[in-house]
Amino acid sequence: MHMLDILARDARTASFEFFPPVKDSGWDLLFTAIRELEPLAPSFVSVTYGAGGGTRQRTNDLVLRLKRETSLDPVPHLTCVGHSRAEIQAILERYAAEGVSNILALRGDPPKDGSIPKAGDFPHAADLVRFIREFNARGVHPDPRGFGIGVAGFPEGHPETPNTLRLMDHLKAKVDAGADWICTQLFFDNRSFHDWRERCDLAGIRVPVIAGIMPVLSVANLHRMADLAACTHIPAKLMRALQRCGDDAQAVERVGIHWATEQCLELLDRGTRGIHFYTLNRGDATQQIFRNLGLKSTASLR
C-alpha cells in the first residue's frame, strides 16, 4: 500500500525493521521472529539494504518473501552510495514490477573496508529522492503515484554535519525533493526528538515523522549501535540502570525493554505520528513492548 494511504488509514503507525540474514542459515530464525510479529499487524515493515554489497540481493529476496508468504507490507531501504544511475534504475524497475509500493531512500555509508567504491552517481540521499520522483513521473509503476518515498532524519545529529542548521537544511532538501515521510535514527532521549521535531516545524517540514526506537537487548549491542548511530545520546540514567544489571543478560533485556516502553508511552502521549521499531530481528522484545503498552496489535492505534 502506498505510504500516503497507510498514513491516511493509520492515525498512528507502528512499523518494524528487519535486516536480511548474512548467511543462508539465518533465514529460519528470521522467519520465526517475523511470524511472531505478524499478528501485531504493523502498518508496514522495512528491510535494510547493506551498503557493503554482499547482502544487497538478500534485501530483494526478503522483500519478495515477505510479500509472497506473509500479510506484511515490506518497504525496502535503498542506499545510493556506490551505485550508478543505471543500477538504481534497474532496482526501481524490479521493485515496480514486483508491486513494491514504497522505498526508504538513503545515502548509506561506504563500508570501512573499502569493498565498494566511494563514488556513485548520487552524492546524497536528496539526489536519490529526485531520481525516484523522476522515475515515478514516467508511469512505470502500476500505482500512478509511483513509489512512496521515505527519508532518514537525525534528531541527535549526524557525524558528517556538526552544524545542526545545515543538517536541517539537508533534511528539508530531501523533503523538497519529494519525500513523503521521515523515519528517524534511533534515540534514547525523547527530549532530543521533541526538540528536533519542533525545529523541523520551524524549518517548514510538514511531512509525517516516524520515531525510531530500539530496545537495548545487550550491552554488546549497545556498543555496536553507538558505532553505527554515532551522535546518539545515551542518558546516564539508562547507563546506570544497565550497569546495575552487571553480567545478568536477562536483567539487561528487561531494562532495555522497560526503557523503550517508557519512551513509546511518552511519544504516544505527545501525539507522535508513528513509531518504527528496530527489532534486531527478534520477535520477543517488540512483542513485550506492545504488551506493556496495552496494545493487542497496531490496529488499536488506528
The single-letter DSSP state of residue 301 is: G
CB neighbour list of residue 236: distance below 8 Å, 6 or more residues apart = none
Please give the size of the binding site for ligand FAD, defined by CB under 6 A: 22
CB closer to ligand FAD out of 83 and 158: 158
Q: Which stretch binds ligand FAD (CB under 6 A): 28-36, 48-56, 82-90, 213-221?
A: 48-56
Count CB atoms within 10 A of the CB of residue 207: 19
Shortest spacing between CB 219 and ligand FAD, in angstroms = 22
**What's the N-to-C CA distance of the chain in angstroms?**
16
Give yes or no: 17 in active site. yes
Min dist CB 216 to ligand FAD, Å, is 17
- CB closer to ligand FAD, 107 vs 197: 107
Tell me if 99 sits within 8 A of 144, measured CB to CB: no
Contacts with ligand FAD, 93-132, as mask; x by CB under 6 A: -------------xxxx--------------xxx------
Q: Which of residues 241-280 bind ligand FAD (CB under 6 A)?
A: none
Q: The cell 520477543 sits on which residue? A: 284
160 binds ligand FAD (CB under 6 A): yes
Applying CB under 6 A, among 40, 103, 152, 216 the residue interacting with ligand FAD is 152
CB of 49: closest distance to ligand FAD in angstroms?
4
Distances (CA, A) of 85 to 118, 252, 284: 15, 45, 40
Distance CA 227, CA 222 (A): 9
Cell of 278: 528496530
Give dist(CA 61, CA 17) in Å, integer. Answer: 15
| Main-chain dihedrals φ then ψ at residue 294, nearest 5 degrees | 80, 20
Out of 13, 43, 60, 79, the only residue in the binding site for ligand FAD (CB under 6 A) is 79
According to the binding rule CB under 6 A, does residue 14 interact with ligand FAD?
no
Q: Is 125 or 149 the residue whose CB approaches ligand FAD more closely?
A: 125
Helix, strand, or coil (residue 97): helix
Handedness of CA 35, 264, 195, 164 (dihedral sign): negative
Choose which of 158, 197, 273, 282 interacts with ligand FAD (CB under 6 A). 158
Give 52 or 241: the residue with its C-beta nearer to ligand FAD: 52
Helix (H, G, I), strand (E, B) or coil at 238: helix
Q: Is 43 in the site for ligand FAD (CB under 6 A)?
A: no
3-state percent breakdown (helix, strand, coil) of the chain, nearest 5: 45, 15, 40
Q: Which stretch binds ligand FAD (CB under 6 A): 1-9, 28-36, 166-174, 241-249?
A: 166-174
Residues that bind ligand FAD (CB under 6 A): 48-49, 51, 77, 79, 106-109, 124-126, 152, 158, 160-161, 167, 170, 174, 183, 185, 212
Task: Cite the active site residues.
Answer: 17
